[in-house]
Structure 1
Amino acid sequence: MINPETWMEIREGGFYCVPAECYVDPMVPVTRAVVTHGHADHASRGHGRVWATPETIDIMRTRNYVADETQTTGLPYGQRHDLGGGVTLWFASAGHILGSAQAVFEYQGQRIVAAGDFKRHPDPTCAPFEVVPCDVFITEATFALPVFQHPPLEDEVEKLMRSMRTLPDRTHIVGVYALGKCQRVMKTLRLAGYEHPFYIHGALKRLTELYESYGQDFGVWQLVSEIDRNDKDRFRGKIVLCPPAQINDRWSRRFADPLPTVASGWMQIRARARQKRAELGLVVSDHADWNDLLRTCRETGAGMVWITHGRVEALEYALKKEGINAKGLHLIGIEEAAGE
């Protein structure tokens, strides 16, 4: 068996597949890039050619991450593709957001899976995570500490709806990431019986429309900017969705008695909730928690686990205690991943 480090290297731009001459989720412009999903810490501008799922390519176009001259190849889950140099590439669902994928590289009888960001909790807005047996598994470690045990999203949505019943005159302003978190929260609220229109910040519009083009139904929603600024009572007892930075910004002053709320995996840490000035914290994460990170590494059967981004040392230590050959890596990039 060949040494996987001879054909999948760590370079300044990220992981580099040597025989196929391409990078995985590079943070700098490169000639050839395999992109696992559309968040800004994995998808960037300036690449000459991009391989991703069709949904991720559409997300990158929507966010202006690909230029007209960029060559794109959209691969649906499971479709095998000759990447060159004897390397076969295919994508498996990562369960993170719409179109998110694990990049599966096969070379000379060996398989390396670059998981990107992933989660194991159910999500009505994207395909569920698929366990792919492999020789090397590359995992993130955003929430790789035992304290992080993510509750079901339905429980956190019920917490929000209970707050609305208790405080019917307040406007619940919920800070959510524009890609993935926003749509997942909206869909789960609908499934829980929330019947009022959603009012959303303009920054959430294009990606919500993109999700709808893929068959998601969020019911009635309206841009806050389309409402008369003097009509504050319109928002009482309703949900307003916006980027997290806006919940305590001047923008929020247009609402009647706003109640700042943040939906994030970090809300499990009280200091983070205080830092965000959230009156209500919802533990909502699009990443695997501690238990799911451990069980995923086990279930892949990988002889080697490479760990990136986040609490690398803690996960490396825990896996080594179980007899798994784990290696913590420190890549240049954004540590607190988008869509947290």
Structure 2
Amino acid sequence: MKVGLQLGYWGAAPPSNAQELVLEADRCGFDGVFAAESWGSDAFTPLAWWGSQTRRVRLGTSVAQISARSPASLAMHAMTLDHLSGGRAVLGLGVSGPQVVEGWYGQPFAKPLARTREYVDVVRQVLAREAPVRNDGVHHRLPYDGPGSIGLGKPLKPITHPLRADLPIWLGAEGPKNVAQTAEIADGWLAVYYSPRVGPMYEDWLAEGFARPGARRTRDDFEIAASCQVVVTDEPVAERAKLKPSTALYIGGMGAPGMNFHAELFRRMGYGEAVADVERLFAEGRREEAVAAVPDEAVEDVSIIGDADYVRERVAEWQKSGVNTLLVGCRDAEQLSSVSRVLDLAA
């Protein structure tokens, strides 16, 4: 099992100890460092800034939102980071949700699967640099010939020669159709709120994608990177309680009414009644009660918290269920080092 450090996205200010964590991850055997974005900090700049002092870890976006940049612009970011890091970039992409896409980026959210497919195709054309980039699709037309066009657009190849044409592209996906498409067109899947207990369900969705004509990879060379809080502790109850506020936020407040993909994940795990309670309480502004309504079992399903033996046992379960990489958020260097020691990452 590989382990990556998940930096996430910033709150009101940059995390004060991020550089320390990144360097410790590079030193003690973590496989990668990943950064995210929502509607504040971006995913690429932290990797370039803090990652510039690393020598070994992969530098990945988890995730970069496809509505934030045109696919050609995103490919420029990726190949620039790949050159600067000596071929260590991982490009993680995701559609986000309608509130962010339409409310923050001013882009339409409809048809996210089709938009993603076109987006990935354009990025791969840029990275391949075999011919001027064209796309005749509906969502990312190149050259652009829609409303406002003056008809002078020219198909172009990137001036810079990409370091790797096969720079890995991972997709964040949550529903069955999206996961199946990810298996078909991507190199890896970024799974959020993954639970080994429903691993067979995910394997069915993935199998559908791998079976499609022209699928890029097989199950054997496809990477599943799952976000998972890993805490080595003798007080698991207290540590799980610390995760409930963020879990309640994602279930109750990080999606539009009737379209919350995170809430659907927990419903598929069998927590439908609790999800309804959290959503209702969150919508009524009763956030403390919403946090209290998150079941202990739901947190335990999607995290690994306990003593060293328990952590090793649970990591083995996640690996057996198909996960190749755990993306772990660490609040300090001590937590990061404890994960490394227990899982023998530096060996």
TM-score (norm. length: structure 2): 0.35
Bigger share in strand: 1
Bigger share in helix: 2
